[in-house]
Structure 1
Amino acid sequence: MKKRRGFVQMAILHLLEEASMHGYQIMKELEIRSGGHYSASAGTVYPALQELLEKEMIELEPSSDKKTYCIQEKGKIRLQEFAKNKEGAFWSNWEDRWSWQNSEEAIRLKEIIDLWEAELRKAIKKSRSTPENSPKLIAFMKEITERLQTENY
C-alpha cells in the first residue's frame, strides 16, 4: 500500500468489516469518524478502493445494484496484522490524526517544512556550481538527521 493512501485504505477496511458500503457512504463515514476534520474526496477514496480490489482485499457485491464494496478474507487478515502492530483504537487514532493536522502547530510546522525545503533546494543548487561546498552541506544534513533521530520531539 502506498504510504499516503495506506491510512485511508486501513480506514476503508475497518468500515467494510462493519458493513458493506458504496463509495459515497465510505466518504461520508470517513468524515464523520474524523470528527469533521477530514473531508474524503473521490480522488482519494476511489483509487484506494481500486487498489484494495486489485489486491483482493475487498470485492464488489454481486447482488447489489450500486457498486457496493465488501471485505474479503485478505482484507480481514490485513486488519489482524495491523492490529498486532499498532496500539490504540483505530478510530480514535484516525480522529486524532485529522484533528492534529488541522491544528495551529501542524500548520506552522508545514509552513516551516516548506520554507526549509526551499532553502535546501537553493543550497543543493549552489553546491552544484560550487562543488567544494558540498562536504559542508553533507555534514550539515548528517548533523540535522542525527539530531532528529536522537532528540525527543
Structure 2
Amino acid sequence: MFRIGRMLAHGDLKLLALALIAEQPRHGYELIKVIEEKTTGWYSPSPGVVYPTLTFLEEAGYVTAEPDGAKKLYAITQEGRAYLEQNRDFAEAIMGRLSQIGDKMSRVRKWMGWSESGPNAGADLPRLVEAAIENLRDVARQKLDQSRSAETRIVEILARAASDIREA
C-alpha cells in the first residue's frame, strides 16, 4: 500500500514542474508545496531536487526566472509550452498519478482516523511510527472503555515501552 523510495521516475519532475508553471508562474518553494498538496502530504520533493530541475528547465529555454525579492518567479516560455504540448499525455499521466496517490492517502488517513496532517499534527515522526502510536492509542482507548481499572496496567506497559525505546 505504501511505496518507499522514489515517488517520481527520472524526468517526471521536469514535466510536472513545467505543467504546474504553465498553470501560473511559480516560485520553487511553491512547486514543492503544490506537489505536497496534490499527494495530501505523502510526497514532498526536496529543494535539492526541485531547484536543479528549475535550473535545467531555464537552461533548456523552457522557463524564465525573474527576480521576485529574494526568490525567483518561474514562467513558461513558448519553447516550454511546445515541449509540454509534445509530452501532454505523459504530463497528464504524472498529474493523474499524483492525484491518485493523494486520494489513496486521504482514504488511508480517514480509515486510520487521522486528520489530514496526521494523528499528531506537527510531530516530526516517520509515518510508520505515527501509525504505531495511533494503533497504541486506539487499543488503550478500547481497553479503558472495557475496564477503567486497566488504567494502572496500561500506564505500566507504556512506561516500560518508553524505557525500552530510550535504551534502544
Q: What is the number of equivalent residue pairs in this alignment?
A: 97
Q: Indicate the SS of the match to 1:32.
A: helix
Deviation at 1:78, TM superposition (A): 1.3
Is 1:92–2:96 an aligned residue pair? Answer: yes
SS, match of residue 21 in structure 1 = coil
Displacement of 1:89 = 5.3
Compute the displacement of 1:18 (Å).
Answer: 1.0
Q: Which runs of 5+ in 1 are unaligned?
A: 101-153
Gaps of 5+ in 2: 1-7, 105-168
1:110-135 alpha-carbon deviations (Å, 9 max, x no partner): xxxxxxxxxxxxxxxxxxxxxxxxxx
Kindly indicate whether residue 30 of structure 2 is the aligned counterpart of residue 28 of structure 1: no
Give the structure with the higher percent helix. Answer: 1
Distance 2:28 2:91 in 1: 28
Overall identity of the aligned pairs, in %: 30
TM-score, normalization by structure 1: 0.54
Deviation at 1:51, TM superposition (A): 0.6
Say if 1:37 and 1:95, in contact at 8 Å, map to a contact too: no
* Secondary structure in structure 2 of the residue aligned to 1:36: coil
Find the structure with the greater CA-based Rg.
2
Give TM-score, length-normalised by structure 2.
0.50
How far apart, CA to CA, are the structure 2 residues paired with 1:61 and 1:87? 24
Q: How large is the Cα RMSD of the aligned pairs?
A: 2.7
- Alignment correspondent of 1:19: 24
